[in-house]
Amino acid sequence: MKTSLSFRHFLLALAVVAVWGSNFVVIKLALGILPPLLFATLRFAVVVFPLVLFLPRPAVPWRNLGGYGLLIGVGQFGLLFVAMNGHISPGLASLVIQVQVFFTIGLAMLLAAERLQRVQWIALALGAAGLGVIVAHTDGSTTLLGLGLILLAALAWAGGNLVCRAAGRINMVAYVVWSSLFAVPPLFVLSLWVEGWDALAAGVQNAGLDAWAAVAWQAWGNSIFGYAAWGWLLARYSAATITPMALLVPVFGMGASALWLDEALPAWKLIAAALVLSGLALNLLWPWCLRRRHT
């Protein structure tokens, strides 16, 4: 397994995190046209069709596919879209949802009896301090409801990580496509129940090229390209080489929001970002540093 990232593959990883980070701006723009749960439904419907007709089902149990589809589709993205519909700014959403790293660790401790190392406790404290700064500065653009929904979305993402890990080494694109079959029906039912038929019909009627481009970007850019490229890189390089690149997702998210949506970046947001990213970096990089010290 390679540990030194070539420049060409570094650019590929950078493209993935740029897509994932700027995706929060795309979400915000699309939510000005489409109701959030309908938007999530369309996103996963486009992930499924037509690729489900061409990709063989991964050799994993249906319950695994169903669990991942519900956690990621309904839990992560359904809640994320609802939260970003006026309850939290795109830049902060891109930052806060990264606490899924800490939730993944916590769930692994709870379910698999994994123990938290001392450095991980420090990393968790830094992340919690960053969230505390955000809670102390909730305003019209970021509410406690929005923050709570994003944290629940991060928890669902963490659950999805563990379900995916249980699936073993698989074709990640096929896994995303087939698991999305389980996301579309509940998202549509929730959209019909919460948003109503009139809102759904109006959203589809008012959706122009920009709205459908946002749906396609979500499905093909964020899910298909992002997961395929990331999985391809992880198959060729060590996790310690690739995963720290994900720390750039909120950097791109906050930068794109400031550039395209004029989202303000006051000192408290930068402090919160520095604390959360420091915690994430410490958690991701300390095993690599430990191995280097003993070689």
Read off the pLDDT of residues 129-144 as tens digits, 9 standing for 90 and up: 877 877 777 666 778 8
Percentages of the chain per state (helix, strand, coil), in multiples of 5: 80, 0, 20
Distances in Å between the alpha carbon of 191 and those of 111, 153, 176, 182, 261?
Answer: 32, 17, 22, 15, 27
| Mean predicted confidence (pLDDT) in 85-95 | 88
For residue 204, what are the CA distances in angstroms to 39, 45, 109?
10, 14, 44
Continuous segment of H or E residues that includes residue 284: helix 267-293
**Cβ–Cβ contacts within 10 Å for residue 55, how many?**
15
Cα 143 to Cα 227: distance, rounded to the nearest angstrom: 31
Residue 23 C-alpha from the chain's centroid: 10
3-state secondary structure of 2: strand
The winner for highest mean pLDDT among 39-53, 203-217, 234-248 is: 39-53
Nearest to 100 by CA among 280, 286, 287, 282: 280
- Given a cut of 60, whether residue 61 has pLDDT beyond it is yes
Task: Find out whether 144 and 138 touch, Cβ atoms under 8 Å.
Answer: yes
pLDDT band per the 50, 70, 90 thresholds, residue 289: low
Neighbour-count burial of 252, counting CB atoms closer than 10 A to its CB (0-12 exposed, 13-18 middle, 19+ buried): buried
Residue type, 172: M
User: Average of pLDDT values for 51-70?
Assistant: 94
For the chain, the structural domain boundaries read: 7-293
Q: Residue 13: exposed, middle, or buried by beta-carbon count in 10 A (0-12, 13-18, 19+)? A: buried
* Contact between 179 and 69 (Cβ < 8 Å): yes
pLDDT category, 290, cuts 50, 70, 90? low
Residue pair 75/152 in contact (Cβ under 8 Å)? The answer is: yes
